[in-house]
Chain A
Amino acid sequence: MVHWSAEEKQLIASIWGKVSVEECGAEALARLLIVYPWTQRFFSNFGNLSSPTAIIGNPKVRAHGKKVLTSFGEAVKNLDNIKGTYSKLSELHCEKLHVDPENFRLLGDILVIVLASHFGRDFTPACQFAWQKLVGVVAHALARKYH
C-alpha cells in the first residue's frame, strides 16, 4: 500500500478542489493526442483528429477527457486504496482496450503540465512532487492487472 504523508494528501486535495474536471480533462487528453500523436491509435472512431485545432474542438475528445479525469477523481477520493479502485479498469484496459501502460505515464505527465499551467506558482515543487507520485501510482494501478 502506498504511504501518503498528511502534507501530500493536503497538497493533492487543495489542487483537486479547484480543478474543473471537464476543462482539465479535455485539455489533458487533447494535449496527449497532439504532443504524442501516436496515441491517436486508440481513437480511430473519434472522427476528425487531423490537426491540433480539430483535436481541441473535437467533442468526443472533450467528453472522453472529462470521463478520464472524473475517473482520476476516484483515486483522489481513495488515496489509500488506489489499487482496488482501478482493479476492474486495469483489466478493461488490458483485455478490451489493449492500451500499452506507457500511455498512462504519458497522460500523467501531461496532466501535471496542465495543472502547472492552470495554477502557476501555486503549483509549487512540493505540489508537483505529490502529483507526480499520484499520477505514478495511478499508472501503476492501471497496469497492475495486465497479463
Chain B
Amino acid sequence: MVLSANDKTNVKAIFGKIGGHAEEYGAETLERMFAAYPQTKTYFPHFDMAKGSAQIKGHGKKVAAALVEAVNHIDDIAGALSKLSDLHAQKLRVDPVNFKLLGHCFLVVVASHNPAALTPEVHASLDKFLCAVGNVLTAKYR
C-alpha cells in the first residue's frame, strides 16, 4: 500500500484544516478509543481515565505531534518515526491490532468535527496514511 501524490495532498490539506486543534483531536481520539475499545486501557493502567484527565490530554498531544511529524515528512514516514518505531518495538510492544483501533477513532474524531472536509476521497487517503503510520510503528516488532 503506497501513498499516491493525491493521497499526500489530501492528507496535508486535512491536517492544514485541523491546524491548531491537533492536540485536542489527539486527546479525543484516545478518549474515544478507551471508551469504544476498553481493552486498549490495558496499556495505560497508571492513567487517570476520567474525562478531561491531564494524562489523556498529555498523551493525546504526543500522539497528535507524531501524526503531524509524519505528515510533515510524508515522503519518508519511516525515517521521521524511526525512533518511535524503535520505542514501540523494544519497550512499549503495543499489539499491532491497536493501531487500527486508534486510526479508526482518529477518523471518527475528524468526521465529527469536519464532516464537510472528510470527503470520501480524503477519507480514503487519511485511512491509508494512518495505516502507513501503524505499519511503520510495528515494522521492527520481529
Interface residues of A (CB under 8 A from B): 30-31, 34-35, 52, 55-56, 109, 112-114, 116-121, 123, 125-126, 128-129, 132
Contact = CB atoms under 8 A, between A and B. Distances in A.
A120 B120 contact: no
B123 A34 contact: yes
A117 B111 contact: yes
Nearest to A32: B120
A125 B32 contact: yes
26 contacts: A30-B120, A31-B123, A34-B120, A34-B121, A34-B123, A35-B120, A35-B123, A55-B120, A56-B120, A109-B104, A112-B108, A113-B107, A114-B111, A116-B111, A117-B111, A117-B118, A118-B115, A120-B113, A120-B115, A121-B112, A123-B108, A125-B32, A128-B36, A128-B105, A129-B35, A129-B36
B127 interface: yes
Contacts of A35: 120, 123-124, 127
Interface of B: 31-32, 35-37, 104-105, 107-109, 111-113, 115, 118-121, 123-124, 127
Nearest to B34: A125
Nearest to A51: B121
Contacts of B113: 120
Contact of A128 (B32, B115, B120, B121): B32
Nearest to B108: A116
A141 to B, nearest CB: 19
Given A117-B112, A123-B108, A128-B108, 15 more contacts: A52-B124, A56-B120, A113-B104, A113-B108, A114-B111, A116-B112, A117-B111, A119-B112, A120-B112, A120-B115, A121-B112, A125-B36, A128-B32, A128-B36, A129-B36
A52 B120 contact: yes
